[in-house]
C-alpha cells in the first residue's frame, strides 16, 4: 500500500505547490481570510476555520502572499491524504481489502470535482469516509476518536452531512447485528447519528441563505450536471460503477476463467478512464465548470460507500486471488488520481502565469476582463478572478482585473466592486483591510 499512498501524497503536494486550492471560490476564501484577519465561514460552515487557521496564523509572521497561498493550499489538500490514511488505519487487517472502494471512489467518483478544494460538499466526502469505515468495522478502539472528531467536523461543514449521518446510523445498526460484543456501542453511535442528521436538517431549513435555497431547485441541479459532469466525467463515474458491479458479481464464485476475464475487464476500464481523464485534465475548457460537479459527488460516490459498508459489516472473505487483484486495482486508482491531479495542476499553473503576465503588461491600472479573451472557456471565467488577480500581485497590488463597468467605477469613485454574483455584491475601499489598494491607481473618490 506504500505505492498507493506515495502516489497520492506526491499528487497532493504538487497540487498544493501549484495552489490549485485557489481555483474558483478558493481565491475568495483566502482573500477574505487575509483581508478580515479572521476565518471566512459562509453559511454557518464553521469547519472551514480548522483549515484556515494555519494561513491566518502565518499571516502574522509573513505578508508574502505566495507563501500564504501555499499554506492555504496545503491545508485544504491535506484533507484527502488524511482521510485515506485514517481509513487504512481504522480497517482491521482482515478487512483491509475493502479499502479498494475508498480508492476507486476517490479516483472516479470524486476526481472530476477534486480541484474545487474549498467546496464544502467536496470536503464532506473525505470527512465521512473514516466515519463510515469506523462504524462498519464495529468501532475498534483506535477508530472511536477519529469517528467522533470527523463527525463533529462533518456536522459543521455542509448541509449534505444529514444524509451521510443517516447512512452512518443505518450502517451502525447493520454492523451491530454481526458484532454482538460491540452492539451496545454501535447502537449508541447510531442513535447519535440520527440526532445529528435531524438537527442538521432543522438548522439548514431554519438558516438557509438565498444561495442555498437556489441550489435546491431541479433546474439548478440539471444545469450543474450539464456543466460539470456531462461527457468524460460521467463516463468515468459509470466506468467506476461497472467495475464495482463486476466485482460484486464475482462473489458468486464463477469459474476461474470467467473470474480472470472480468478482472481483465476491470483493469481495462480503469485504464480507459485514466486516458479519458488525462484528455479532460489537459484541456482547461473541459473542466472550466468543475466546481459544478460538487452537487453530484454525493450520488457518484454513494455506491462505493454502500459497498464498503456492507463488506466491512459482514466481514466478507474474498480469498487471496481476489485480494491480490484488489491491491492491483487500488494501485491503479492511486495512479489515476496522481497523474490526473498533476496534469490538471500543471494546466492551472500555466493559466496562473498567463494571467500574471497579462496583468504585468497592461498599460492601464485596471484590466477589463472582457478584453482578456482567452479567459473565457477556462476555470478563470469565474466571479472570483478579480481577487485572484489581487493575490497574484501580493499584499499591495498595483493593478486590478474587473469587468469593464467596474473598472470605470473604480477609477472614478475609488471603490472596487470586488465581488459581483447573482446573490452577493461587495465593494472594497482603497484601505481598511489587510490588503492595501493605495497603489492600484484608484481615484480618491473626491
pLDDT digits (tens, 9 = 90+) for 44-55: 899 999 999 999
Q: Give the C-alpha separation, 321 to 329, whole Å.
A: 13
Considering 321, 351, 381, which residue would you say is the last residue of a domain?
A: 351
Position 356 in a domain: no
Do 165 and 222 share a domain, yes or no?
yes
Do 404 and 290 share a domain, yes or no?
no
Do 376 and 326 share a domain, yes or no?
no
Q: Give the C-alpha separation, 107 to 114, whole Å.
A: 9
pTM of the predicted model as reported, rounded to 2 decimal places: 0.91
Position 446 in a domain: no
Do 367 and 222 share a domain, yes or no?
no
pLDDT of residue 208: 80
Residue 446's pLDDT band (cuts 50, 70, 90): very low
pLDDT tens digits for range 168-179: 999 999 999 999
Pair type for strands 425-428 and 416-420: antiparallel
Considering 351, 382, 417, which residue would you say is the last residue of a domain?
A: 351
Number of structural domains in the chain:
2
Mean pLDDT of all residues in 340-344: 96
Position 147 in a domain: yes
Domain residues for the domain of 279 are: 2-351
Do 296 and 188 share a domain, yes or no?
yes
Strand partners, 402: 368
Query: Is residue 154 within 8 Å of 124, Cβ to Cβ?
Result: yes
Position 389 in a domain: yes
Backbone angles phi, psi at 319, to 5 degrees: 90, 160
Do 379 and 319 share a domain, yes or no?
no
Considering 351, 377, 406, which residue would you say is the last residue of a domain?
A: 351
Do 142 and 220 share a domain, yes or no?
yes
Do 268 and 157 share a domain, yes or no?
yes
Do 342 and 395 share a domain, yes or no?
no
3-state secondary structure of 324: helix
pLDDT tens digits for range 117-166: 999 999 999 999 999 999 999 999 999 999 999 999 999 999 999 999 99
Position 25 in a domain: yes
Q: Give the C-alpha separation, 328 to 6, whole Å.
A: 15
Q: Which of 136, 172, 156 is nearest to 39 (CA)?
A: 156
Position 250 in a domain: yes
- Kindly write down the DSSP assignment for every residue of 45-87, as one continuous string: -TTHHHHHHHHHHHTTT---HHHHHHHHHHHHHHHHHHHHHHH
Query: Is residue 269 within 8 Å of 239, Cβ to Cβ?
Result: yes
pLDDT tens digits for range 320-333: 888 899 999 999 99
Do 39 and 143 share a domain, yes or no?
yes
Task: Specify the range with the lowest mean pLDDT, choosing from 73-77, 108-112, 222-226, 386-390.
Answer: 222-226
Mean pLDDT of all residues in 249-257: 72
DSSP conformational letter for 91: S
Mean pLDDT of all residues in 305-311: 94
pLDDT of residue 71: 97
224 is written with which cell numbers? Answer: 450543474
| Range 265-268, long-range pairs (CB < 8 A, 24+ positions) | 266/325, 266/329, 267/328, 267/329, 267/332
Position 440 in a domain: no
Query: Is residue 234 within 8 Å of 226, Cβ to Cβ?
Result: no
Position 104 in a domain: yes
* Host H or E run for residue 356: helix 320-360
Do 149 and 92 share a domain, yes or no?
yes
Do 325 and 409 share a domain, yes or no?
no
Amino acid at each position: 500500500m506504500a505505492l498507493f499512498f506515495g502516489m497520492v501524497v506526491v499528487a497532493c503536494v504538487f497540487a498544493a505547490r501549484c495552489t490549485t486550492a485557489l481555483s474558483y471560490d478558493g481565491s475568495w476564501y483566502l482573500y477574505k481570510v487575509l483581508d478580515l484577519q479572521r476565518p471566512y465561514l459562509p453559511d454557518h460552515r464553521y469547519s472551514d476555520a480548522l483549515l484556515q487557521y494555519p494561513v491566518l496564523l502565518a499571516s502574522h509572521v509573513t505578508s508574502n502572499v505566495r507563501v500564504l497561498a501555499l499554506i492555504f493550499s496545503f491545508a485544504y489538500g491535506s484533507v484527502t491524504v488524511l482521510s485515506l490514511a485514517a481509513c487504512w488505519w481504522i480497517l482491521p487487517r482482515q478487512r483491509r481489502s475493502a479499502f479498494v472502494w475508498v480508492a476507486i471512489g476517490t479516483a472516479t467518483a470524486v476526481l472530476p470535482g477534486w480541484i474545487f478544494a474549498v467546496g464544502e460538499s467536496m470536503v464532506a466526502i473525505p470527512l465521512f469516509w473514516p466515519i463510515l469505515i469506523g462504524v462498519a468495522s464495529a468501532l475498534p478502539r483506535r477508530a472511536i476518536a477519529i469517528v467522533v472528531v470527523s463527525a463533529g467536523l462533518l456536522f459543521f461543514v455542509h448541509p449534505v452531512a444529514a444524509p451521510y449521518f443517516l447512512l452512518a446510523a443505518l450502517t451502525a445498526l447493520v454492523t451491530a447485528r454481526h458484532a454482538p460484543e460491540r452492539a451496545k456501542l454501535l447502537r449508541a453511535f447510531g442513535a447519535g447519528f440520527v440526532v445529528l442528521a435531524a438537527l442538521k436538517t432543522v438548522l439548514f431549513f431554519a438558516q438557509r441563505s438565498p444561495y442555498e435555497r437556489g441550489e435546491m431547485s431541479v433546474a439548478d441541479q440539471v444545469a450543474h450536471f450539464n456543466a460539470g459532469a456531462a461527457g468524460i466525467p460521467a463516463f468515468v463515474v459509470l466506468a467506476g460503477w461497472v467495475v464495482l458491479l463486476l466485482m460484486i458479481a464475482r462473489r458468486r464464485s464463477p469459474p476461474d476463467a470467467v473470474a480472470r476475464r472480468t478482472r481483465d475487464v476491470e483493469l481495462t476500464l480503469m485504464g480507459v478512464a485514466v486516458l479519458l481523464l488525462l484528455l479532460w485534465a489537459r484541456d482547461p475548457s473541459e473542466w472550466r465548470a468543475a466546481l459544478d460537479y460538487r452537487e453530484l459527488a454525493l450520488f457518484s460516490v454513494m455506491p462505493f460507500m454502500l459497498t464498503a459498508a456492507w463488506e466491512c459489516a459482514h466481514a466478507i472473505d474474498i480469498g487471496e486471488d481476489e485480494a491480490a487483484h484488489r491491491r492491483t486495482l487500488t494501485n491503479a486508482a492511486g495512479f489515476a488520481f496522481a497523474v490526473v491531479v498533476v496534469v490538471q495542476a500543471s494546466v492551472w499553473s500555466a493559466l496562473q502565469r498567463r494571467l500574471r503576465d497579462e496583468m504585468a503588461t497592461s498599460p492601464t491600472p485596471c484590466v477589463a476582463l472582457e478584453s482578456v479573451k482567452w479567459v473565457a472557456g477556462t476555470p478563470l471565467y469565474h466571479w472570483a478572478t478579480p481577487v485572484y488577480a489581487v493575490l497574484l500581485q501580493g499584499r499591495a497590488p498595483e493593478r486590478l482585473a474587473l469587468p469593464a463597468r467596474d473598472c470605470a467605477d473604480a477609477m472614478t469613485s475609488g471603490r472596487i466592486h470586488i465581488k459581483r454574483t447573482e446573490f452577493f455584491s461587495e465593494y472594497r475601499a482603497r484601505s481598511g483591510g489587510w490588503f492595501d489598494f493605495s497603489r492600484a491607481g484608484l481615484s480618491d473618490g473626491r
